[in-house]
Structure 1
Amino acid sequence: MQTKQFIPFLDIHQYQGVLVVDSFHPRGLVLSHWRGAPKLPQLHDDTSAGIVLNALKADLPELHTHAYVTNNHFDIDGFLGVWSLLYPQKALQHEQLIRKMALMGDFREMDLQTEEDHLALKLVCWINRAESGRFYAPFASYAPRQSEVKLCVPKYTFFLEAFGAVLEDPERYRAEWQQEYEQVVADWAVMRGPKSGLTLERSIRLLVVETPEPLHYYALFGQSAPADMVLSLYSGNRYELEYKYTSWVDTAHRPGFPRLDLQPLAGQLNALEEGPHRWAADKITDTGPILRLQGTPLSKEERFDHPYKRPIYASSIPSRSFKAVVQQYFEQGYRNQPQKPHWSWAQLRALNEALFSKKEIPL
């Protein structure tokens, strides 16, 4: 297979034979789970790294003719896809490990049953620490006059060179991954302990998590694979509802419902809320829309960061009533809707326009 070279996304017009990972550009061969991106027959997967691994295993002909690889942003799934194309033999040697890392990085899903599960977590924690410590945290580059497309290039330069050594000897880098790893393991124990509970509402693909305090995302969402949404119920009537990133991309193995606008639901809750804060929600085009009681609006970086790092305010609505309102909202919205892995943005806009022509689903 031809040796590959990573190139900046903005330079793609200067090259012929480019593999575009975890993003989209009409000039290259796309290996991406982005909604609406071209799909490779029989090779599509839930993560972009999974698509790359499938292409490597199938010995896709274009892998022998395309010498360049690019991505327009840095995240764990996209990086692993790029790295796998540059180091295909190592990638296939560690195939299941890379798949687990990609699921953890993009969807925050994981398990901690095996030694390989723990290794995947350690490596993801190393990437997280190295990214925020040496460069900037995810979405921090979305400040005015800054561009992720440009700023991610030094990240790729560093991680493409460094990751192989960490993969071969992770204990040598313990100081960088240990703190976050131990926190996730501790929070995972809380999630599986007697003070926490998980309820999967299969009819609307909603995972209801009841736990005393906000946790690390990997623990909170770890067991959420059958769901498109997570409703977190904390002590003291503190709540958040979040659409998972799985509902932003085109998955292969998990048919789901279309995203519903959360802002009409926020309006229904505000009609019941007697506390000092108001319910607000991000748009459905956001990678992970959150419905929450709003104080000072959170930045994209703050919303992407873990729940325990942001303020979550107490509501006057009892938890049972809150859960009932949320369930009824989605049960009515999803009535007669199919589950499928591919929903176009046009389909989502049309559905939400039809549902919310009167601004809310009537109770």
Structure 2
Amino acid sequence: MPPLPVLPEHDTEFLADPEVATQLENLDIKVLGGRPIGIINNRFIDLMNAIAGPGAVLINGRPTDIRRENLSRLSYALGTDGEIVHLPIEATPCHLAIPVQAPRCAVPCADKAVRINLKSRYGYLPLGYTAHLPNISLDSIDNASTLLTLSHWPSNHTPQRYKANLSTQSVFSYLKESGDVEGAQVVTSDHFDLDGLASIYAFLSPASAMKHQQLLIDVARLGDFSRGASSHALKTAFTLNSLAAQVKLPKNIDADTALLHMFNAVLPNVEQVLEHTDRYAQCYLEGMNHLERSERLLSHPDMMLVEYPDIDLAVFHLPAAIRSDQLNDQQPYLGLSNIAFHNRTRCGVLAIVHGTVLEVRQRYESWVERISGIPRARRDLSIFAQALQQDEREGGVWRYGGVENIMPSLKYEGPGSTRYSAETLLMELRQFLKVAPAAWSGSPQPA
């Protein structure tokens, strides 16, 4: 079968079965974290698991070969010595659940890019609008027209001398020693978050950004890794996220046009937020109060944190003294602030236990490329979820967000509680993390 070319700008070709290849035509496909990932509407699709089912692995180790003959599935059974078994995949028709792409609005030219003021050397356009426009890619993947990448995303093309744990740090390293990027008219990214916002702001308003360098780095760290204690940075981060949440987007627009609206609304406000943060109390008070409440609960004398460094796991045992009505198991982190958890441990996998409720979280640090503090490579918890599902009570479902997503969770959903005790769940989770192979590696792993 002829190969399916999907990334000619990087001379990458993917092998796929014919019925799969026809379904991939509208996807941008890249190898991220060692896995073939389809991208559409700024959403990631793990093609291995989409084709073969949960726990898919490559037989020949080549992520560019996604033919069925090169895929198998891993299975794990509870109550064993932790054996991982390879299973053949079913030879049934493959129908990928690919989202429908929203109709794209007219692509704006460079002079329509978002600028903060007339002094801005660059403007901002979403990545999808820059396929034929020389660009600087910030906190993002890149494309054939990218002249410079400054990003901590997996498989990034950031020059080695500028690599850092945060894209914002890479940007400041570049701006301190380099001038303009010849030929580039715009900076670009494919999503909105605080690390990306700080990176873009630094290029659009370098004088202001340099003045607030440490604050912007602290804000970026809070945005990506949910870590930090600076009151000014916390208020700034909560404010910028609040301003973004208030943006009213037109209906039925594509993801890139939505991004353009978002940055157009938020970027012009960044300098005022940095300079006069206390004027935005209506934006940050809710976040600050939520964090303070979470800190109080996690500081309960009976709360116990147990770390297992060899498997990069931290277990938070929330005491019975914290009432169920003080938590919300329908919300991430049982309704508490993720910052309160992340400031207490550097482990890449968090397990939060309260009574019979268990929530497992994989942190963003294990998704991106890091230069220091490199976490253990991610394991695919869909394999563990399948094992839990085997003997779960009727109507109960263990859901996992997917190893390809930036901060996936594993949680039980259904009527009542899971049939497993918290002790059993934690014992099995530890065993699984010990024996499961790496499934996603954003950073080169130490030997």
Please give the range of the TM-score, normalised by the shorter of the 2 chains.
Answer: 0.7 to 0.9
For structure 1, the residue ranges without an aligned partner over 5 or more in a row are 297-312, 344-363
User: Is the 2:397–2:413 Cα contact (8 Å) retained in structure 1?
Assistant: yes
Structure 2 gap segments, 5+ residues each: 1-118, 328-333
2:291 is matched with which residue? 184
| Equivalent residues of 1:275, 1:315 under 8 A apart | no
TM-score, normalization by structure 2: 0.64
Q: Does 1:341 align with 2:443?
A: yes
**Aligned residue in 1 for 2:433:** 330
Question: Partners of 1:40 and 1:2 in 2: how far apart?
Answer: 24
1:214-253 equivalences under 5 Å are 214=334, 215-224=336-345, 226-234=346-354, 236-253=355-372
- Is residue 193–residue 223 contact of structure 2 (8 Å, CA) maintained in 1? yes
Aligned-partner Cα distance in 2 for 1:223–1:91: 29
Question: Matched residues in 2 for 1:25 and 1:175: separation?
Answer: 39
User: Which residues in structure 2 correspond to 1:65-84 (within 5 Å)?
Assistant: 66-84=184-202
Q: Deviation of residue 65 (structure 1)?
A: 6.2
3-state DSSP class of the match of 1:39? coil
String of CA shifts for 1:3-45, please: whole Å, max 9, x gaps: 22223433324533x2111112231111111111212112111
Give 1:182's aligned amino acid: N
Select the residue among 15, 19, 26 that pairs with 2:136.
19
1:100 to 209, 214, 218: 218
User: Any conservation in 1 of the 2:167–2:195 contact (CA below 8 Å)?
Assistant: yes
Q: In structure 2, do the counterparts of structure 1 residues 221 and 135 end up closer, same or farther at CA, with 3 Å as the change threshold? A: farther
> In structure 2, what is the equivalent of residue 91 of structure 1?
209
Query: How many residues matched?
Result: 311
AA matched with 2:299: R
- Alignment partner of 1:292: what SS? strand
| Deviation of the 1:61 alpha carbon | 4.3
Match of 1:124 in 2: 237
Which residue is 1:153 aligned to?
260
Q: Among residues 375, 378, 386, which one is paired with 1:259 in the alignment?
A: 378
**Letter matched to residue 328 of structure 1:** Q
Residue type of the alignment partner of 2:313: L
CA distance in 1: counterparts of 2:206 and 2:344, whole angstroms: 30
Secondary structure of the structure 1 residue equivalent to 2:121: coil
AA aligned to 1:341 is: S
Post-superposition CA distance 1:77-117 (Å, at most 9, x none): 1111100111222222222222221111112222x3xxxx1
Residue 259 of structure 2 aligns with an amino acid whose one-letter code is C
Cα distance in 2 for residues equivalent to 1:74 and 1:180: 19
Q: CA deviation at 1:280?
A: 2.6
CA distance 1:126–1:2, change in 2 (3 Å): closer
Q: Max radius of gyration: which structure?
A: 2
Residues 200/60 of structure 1: CA separation in 2 closer, same or farther (3 Å cut): farther
Which SS does the other structure have where 2:165 is aligned? coil
Q: Which amino acid aligns with 1:161?
A: P
TM-score, normalisation: structure 1:
0.77
RMSD between aligned alpha carbons? 2.8
Letter in 1 for 2:340: A
| Structure (1/2) with the larger strand percentage | 2
* Larger helix percent: 1
- How far is 1:265 from its partner? 0.7
What is the distance in 2 between the residues matched to 1:260 and 1:11?
A: 34
